[in-house]
Structure 1
Amino acid sequence: MPRDEEMAFLLREIDLDRWRHQGQPSNTPVSSDSVSFHLGRRKSNSSHFLGRPDSGQVSRTTFLQGLRFCVLFGTIIGLRALLHLAWNTAYRFCTASSPSAGVNLAAVQQCTIENLQRDLSFLKGAQPITVSEFIQRQDRLAAVLYQTGIDAFIVEPGYTFQYYSNVSQQDWEPWEPEERPFLMVMQPSIHDDDTVTAKTTYLAAHFEEDRVRQLGIPSRSALDIITWEESSNPYSELLSKAFGNAKGQSVVVDEEMRDFLVRGLSSAGFKTIGLTPDIEAIRQQKTSSEMSILRAVNTGTVEAIRAMRPCLRAGLLEKDVISILNNALLSIPGFSLFFNLVLFDSNAALPHGGKATGALALTPTTVVLIDVGAHYFGYSSDITRSFIIGEPPNTLEELSADLSLKQRVFSTVLAAQTASVAHFRPGQVAANVDLAARATITRLSPAGQNWASRFTHRVGHGIGIKAHESPYLHSGNTKTLLRENMTFTSEPGIYLPRQFGVRTEDVFAVTREKNGEVVCLSGRGARSLWDP
């Protein structure tokens, strides 16, 4: 390479390196004088840079040439290292200059965890689901299949599979859902005494059989596994070995079953149908053990927020609060993280925030909206709290106009939640829960305004091993009747554009309590912006 070309190449490399680390090409040119001493000249007839003459001895010219290359190479590496150092220094400087720099994050974290760890009584009574309960679930399903004349229920790894077999999608496929069918097939088996139990079979690739047996799937006896070779049709194998090759078998598949699996079953001769209300109700209506777990995980999630609030300080960023709350949740024995949405003021004006969140700084009058969930023994929490970290006033008359508006919105949302949960009774129409909340917001809105138009989502949803389960509580769901022991969220909200948003979310059970009290599975409800 001629010397002028080599000089130009090096200059481009240096400028490109600056662009990589600084986001744009440098406007300051690099002087050729400052780099010319690094350059070494290549011989055009040399096959490699550090070559050996035919005599086998290294010439002085070749040695100097190699030395120049080493100096050049080392200089480029050194320049890169300096650029990295400059970039990292600038990043640390900018980070240190962020609004949260004046807050001792470690102290806030310690304060939060210490507050939370003082009372973990919400965990009392919660135990993992037993093997016998998993088998009872399968038997309940089998009885419904028999009563409705359906031949089988088929699921692949997912939430429904987990509900019946204690194996999640991640347990089976930690990488991603794959194309090889692994199916759970539950058929009704009728006994001489007319009792119905589940005949449960698993379809798996032959080479995966041993792995299936090691999953610890609850079963009365050894697992019944139908295997298929990769050169065969798995659906035909299932039809032949589990259904005696009788085509036209009616099988239920749920919404989690991928389309290619449904098409595969249909092409083999199965008649696939969707979920029926009675089958859905098996998972929707919770047992006492499920209620205990839901109570523990939802109450614990609320308590983590309550423990954190008095520790928060002005200057913290949204992303700081996310980290603090996550660590607090992880300090609870058995809890694992699920999701965590922290929004301040204008970011909370959208129910789930916008594209860019995490950087707003906390002030004493900021409305903090936290929508967060955790997992415990396979079940989900999903709660929301809205609060302010400043000191509460002695009287409402002392509030500024800004805080007065925020408190009025909060009180309206809380009243809407109270009105909605009064409808958590067996036989109530699902739509009524939502409509009650909207009617309350309309009634309590300021003159000339209708905050109900700023309540932009449904009032709630079912909850269990999945955070969002059917039935869904919206004004259009006029055909679904609530059943005893269903569990739901109630989460009304009001969102004022470019100002702030308020939402309060708790978890409730549908019961027949004689005293008329509603059973809350997330502990004590919110009371004010200063007492969430």
Structure 2
Amino acid sequence: MSTDPAAPAAPADLSGSAGPAAPAPFTADEYRARMARAAESAAEAGLTGLLIAPGPDLVYLTGYRPPTDLERLTLLVLAAGRDPVLVVPALEAPDAHQAPGAAAFTVLDWTDGKDPYALTAPLLAPDGRFAVSDNTWALHLLGLQSRLPGSGYTALTDALPMLRAVKDAREVELLRAAGAAADEAYGEILKVRFAGRAESEVAADLAALLKHFGHSQVDFTIVGSGPNGANPHHEAGSRTIADGDMVVLDFGGLKHGYGSDTTRTVHVGEPSAEERRVHDVVREAQQAGFEAVRPGAACQDVDRAARQVIADAGYGEYFLHRTGHGIGVTTHEPPYLVEGEDRPLVPGMCFSIEPGIYLPGRFGVRIEDIVTVTEEGGRRLNTTGREMAIVE
């Protein structure tokens, strides 16, 4: 946390409090079931199989989180009716064998100086059509194509966009816990001083609070003050926050492997009548989006409900982005709540609802909660107040 003597100190109990014990890891049987469902979904979509490179899909399917920035081939091969095989560099094989889902797949390793594509090709049908995880290196896809010129490939998100979208009860609980940790961070950040400090200082405080409340990974800490708040993805910078500023706080990351993402907009000192009105409009839009959540409704219905409130208030042109995105083992994933997405909501889907109004050169307002679909409608996984908080 900041050591600025002008900033109120964090409560003393932050330094030594112990969080709850980590949840039990997913079992090999759970990973086996995930891989089987994925392979079956691929077959139903007319695909021969799935090719999964390091990234969120591999973590979700196997529990294995190898380095993602290495040029050596790591690839999970899934196909209906065949046992899963994870191709790895020999130096990574010991870690692969220790993965939570290792009992559910076979490890096939290759050594430097050998051709990993020649090793992998026999696992694939020569004229098969495969969905490839979105973050697969082009180097590896081209290597496979050179060995199997009759094969075809498509992006996994295009072929199976809902692969990770519907969460089971344990996943929802992990998302709830991550959201609760972010909520605790928000409660503490309201106690620090904003005026006279750089955006980057407040962002550092937020990151430290997320870590304190159990996040292993901080993905973003957006602090957009005054006119910077009109940029939805503003990076916290050197601007000094001043009395009278509206400040957008958007922050999140991973706790026990599942994501948090919440936004609240605060004000330094007393806001103007216009600032209160804009904040109220966004709050009403966020509530309208939440109330539109129910099984069978289309994703776009949530976007439409929130957007209509903002348009009716005369700010339609200043709502610049979709209303929401899915969240799980990564903070952005399908489903997306946007016009044109008519996919129905089903219980277990988890996503953000985050409308905003952005007035160029002046200020912005965004309010965001993570929501899960239940049989009865929607349930918020963030529970902090959505009214405008006044900070010093």
Question: Structure 2 length normalisation: TM-score?
Answer: 0.88
Determine helix, strand or coil for the equivalent of 2:190.
helix
Residues 339 and 374, structure 1, Cα contact 8 Å, conserved in 2: yes
Q: Quote the offset at 1:127 in angstroms.
A: 4.7
Task: Provide the residue aligned with 1:47 in structure 2.
Answer: none
The aligned counterpart of 2:137 is: 258
Percent same amino acid among aligned pairs?
28
Alignment match, 2:75: 183
Alignment of 1:56-135 (within 5 A): 104=5, 108-111=8-11, 114=13, 127-135=24-32
Give the AA of the match of 1:458. R
Q: Offset at 1:390?
A: 3.4
Q: How does 1:208-287 map to 2 (within 5 A)?
A: 208-213=92-97, 215-220=98-103, 224-240=106-122, 242-243=123-124, 246-269=125-148, 270-275=151-156, 279-287=160-168
1:364-375 → structure 2 map (5 Å cutoff): 365-375=244-254
SS of the counterpart of 2:163? Answer: helix
| Mapping for residues 14-93 of structure 1, pairs under 5 Å | none
Structure 1, unaligned runs of 5 or more? 1-99, 190-197, 392-401
**CA-CA distance at 1:474 after TM superposition:** 1.7
C-alpha distance after superposition, 1:30-86 (max 9, x if no partner): xxxxxxxxxxxxxxxxxxxxxxxxxxxxxxxxxxxxxxxxxxxxxxxxxxxxxxxxx
* 2:337 counterpart residue number: 473
Residues 368 and 386 of structure 1 are in contact (CA less than 8 Å); yes or no, is this contact kept in structure 2? yes
In structure 2, the residue corresponding to 1:387 is in which secondary structure? strand
More contact order relative to length (CA 8 Å, sep ≥ 6): 2
Gaps of 5+ in 2: none
Q: Does the aligned pair in 2 maintain the 1:491–1:506 contact within 8 Å?
A: yes
Distance across 2 between alignment mates of 1:272 and 1:375:
31
- Deviation readout 1:199-232 (Å, 9 max, x if unpaired): 111223345444533x4241336x5233345454
Q: What is the SS of the residue equivalent to 1:203?
A: strand
Q: 1:199 to 1:302 in 2, by over 3 A?
A: same
Q: What SS does the aligned partner of 2:370 have?
A: strand
8 Å CA contact retained: 2:76, 2:84: yes
Tell me how far apart the structure 1 counterparts of residues 44 and 360 of structure 2 sit (CA, whole Å): 52
Given that 2:250 and 2:263 are in contact with CA atoms closer than 8 Å, whether structure 1 keeps it comes out as yes
Contact kept? 1:309, 1:389, Cα under 8 Å? no
* Corresponding residue to 2:345 among 462, 476, 482: 482
Larger strand fraction of residues? 2
With over 3 angstroms needed to count, the CA separation of the structure-2 counterparts of 1:119 and 1:346, relative to structure 1, is: farther
Aligned CA distance change for structure 1 residues 498 and 274 (closer, same or farther; 3 Å): closer
Aligned to 2:67: 172
Distance 1:352 1:114 in 2: 33
Quote the residue 1:49 is aligned against: none
Q: Tell me if the contact between 2:285 and 2:306 (Cα under 8 Å) persists in the aligned partners.
A: yes
Distance 1:117 1:504 in 2: 31
1:199 matched to 2:83? The reply is yes
- Name the structure where helix makes up a greater proportion of residues: 1
Quote how far apart the aligned CAs of 1:164 are: 0.9
Alpha-carbon distance, 1:280 to partner: 3.1
* Cα displacement (A) at 1:165: 1.5
Cross-structure match for 1:493? 356
SS across alignment from 2:264: strand
The number of residue pairs the alignment matches comes to: 388
Counterpart code for 2:5: N
- Greater gyration radius: 1
Report which stretch shifted further, 230-239 or 382-391: 230-239
Deviations 1:441-500, CA, capped at 9 Å, x for gaps = 122x2xxxx2111111111111111111122222233x4222321111011111112211
Look up the match of 1:512: 375
> What's the CA shift for 1:327?
1.9
Q: Find 1:347's aligned residue among 216, 224, 228.
A: 228
Does the residue aligned with 2:84 lie in a helix, a strand or coil?
Answer: strand
State the Cα distance separating 1:124 from its structure 2 match: 8.7
> Structure 2 CA distance, aligned partners of 1:339 and 1:423?
28
- Equivalent residue, structure 2, for 1:386: 265
Q: Of 189, 202, 213, which aligns to 1:308?
A: 189
State the Cα deviation string for residues 80-125 of structure 1 (Å, max 9, x = none): xxxxxxxxxxxxxxxxxxxx99x515x63423x64798897xx699
Aligned to 2:279: 410
Q: CA deviation at 1:141?
A: 1.4
Farther-moved stretch of structure 1 (313-322 vs 270-279): 270-279
Looking at structure 2, the residues matched to 228 and 271 of structure 1 have their Cα atoms a distance apart, in angstroms, of 24
1:256-279 superposed Cα distances (whole Å, 9 cap, x missing partner) = 222232222223223323337784
Work out whether residues 210 and 252 of structure 2, in 8 Å CA contact, stay in contact via their aligned partners in 1: no
CA contact 1:265–1:272 (8 Å) conserved in 2: no
1:282 partner SS = coil
SS at structure 2 position matched to 1:467? coil
Q: Give yes or no for contact 1:138–1:186 (8 Å, CA) kept in 2.
A: yes
Aligned partners of 2:75 and 2:86 also within 8 Å? yes
Q: Is structure 2 residue 354 aligned with structure 1 residue 527?
A: no
